[in-house]
A and B are shown apart, each in its own frame.
Chain A
Amino acid sequence: MKCSEIQDLILTDYIDGEVNESTKRKIEECIEGCEECRAFFEAVQSTGSDPFEALERKTPSDNVWLNIKENITRPASEQKVYFLDTVKQTFEPFINFRMPAFVLTAVVLLFVMMNVFPINKDDNQVAYVHSEQELEYLAFLTDDEEEDDLGEYVEVIEEYFL
């Protein structure tokens, strides 16, 4: 294993105890034998690991539970007001700060959607009528009876001139 790979593992899996025994042994051999890896390990330990260990656990004051209890046992009518307030608060950032970006994004999206998915409900009907007309026209062209009628008509004219 290269030193760069060892150092990547030191930064994550090794310091967090997520490596298996054989990898752990290889890393520790490298820390013992390689000055660069040892210095790196010590730097990671002093900056990325040790300061976060044995930190005092924070606990909320007693008022927190009292506030929660008051809130969840509040009558339904008052909770409805709270819900509306929450919705208002949720959309407040968009209204106050992101209005131009929000509107611009909506317009661009609408434009793209209209181009990608054009709304034309008569498309199929138009295609259907076209194809029906075409079929009739083709039928007319290939209809034997019509051809015969025309033939008879031509013959009559020829006879008239003769």
Chain B
Amino acid sequence: MNDITNQTIEKAANGDIDAFELIYRKCCSFVHNVAFRIVTTQDDAEEVTQEVFISVYRNLKNFRFNASFKTWIYRITINTAVNLSKKWDRNRRREVSFDESEMAVAGRSGTDASVEKQDQDAYIASLLNQLNEDQKVCLILRSIEGLSYAEIADVLNININTVRTRIKRGREKLLNFKKEVMNNEV
């Protein structure tokens, strides 16, 4: 990611598709990964990834080189994923409701390893679903992407103490959620 030069960005901004493909190859993994944790399905994450890179391509000329390119792409990813997630949630809420847990179990297929991965993804999604959008984004950037508090503040354009507060509130919710689950099991 860090080896994307200013020259590559300038070339891509001037319509060089090969330069833009290089940017895509370097960044698609973290863009898709963040998108997947926000929208929770592979298909939706791919649609978000697509929208993000189309948006990046169209706005490359507006990119200011004094900012970090990675931070800029993270910001576009978060905005696109959150907006599309809200839009899709509204549309899906109007459709026939179904029991998500039953659907998740019914959707399991494949080898033991792949089932385990599906379970892990479902567990992470159930944890993140306990949080509001702000807390979810901060925890994804911190705990999954490994960004520092200062980097998260930069991506979201907020104060570092706001990042700290959102992470604290988010983890408190997760602790309470786990307590509730354990009490229900007992």
Contacts and interface: CB of A to CB of B under 8 A. Distances in A.
Contacts of B142: 16
Interface string A23-48: 00000000000000000000110111
Contact of B33 (A49, A58, A65): A58
Interface residues of B, number: 41
Interface residues of A: mostly helix, strand, loop or mixed?
helix
Interface in B117-154: 117, 120, 123-124, 127, 139, 142-144, 148-149
10 contacts: A8-B168, A11-B172, A18-B149, A47-B177, A48-B171, A49-B143, A58-B36, A64-B28, A64-B50, A93-B87
Contacts of A57: 29, 33
A68 B32 CA distance: 14
B77 interface: no
Given A49-B143, A60-B49, A11 B168 contact: yes
Counting from the closest, the 4 A-B pairs by CB-CB distance are A52-B143, A48-B171, A58-B36, A60-B32
Contact of A58 (B42, B57, B87, B149): B42
Interface of A: 8, 11-13, 16, 18, 43-44, 46-49, 51-53, 55-61, 63-65, 67-69, 71-73, 93, 97
Contacts of A12: 164, 167-168, 171
Contacts of A73: 17
Given A48-B175, A60-B45, 10 more contacts: A11-B172, A43-B175, A46-B178, A47-B171, A48-B143, A52-B139, A55-B120, A57-B33, A67-B50, A73-B17
A68 B50 contact: yes
Contacts, number: 92
Interface in B1-29: 17, 20-21, 24, 28-29
Contacts of B143: 48-49, 52-53
Contact of A52 (B28, B57, B144): B144
Nearest to A69: B17
A72 B54 contact: yes
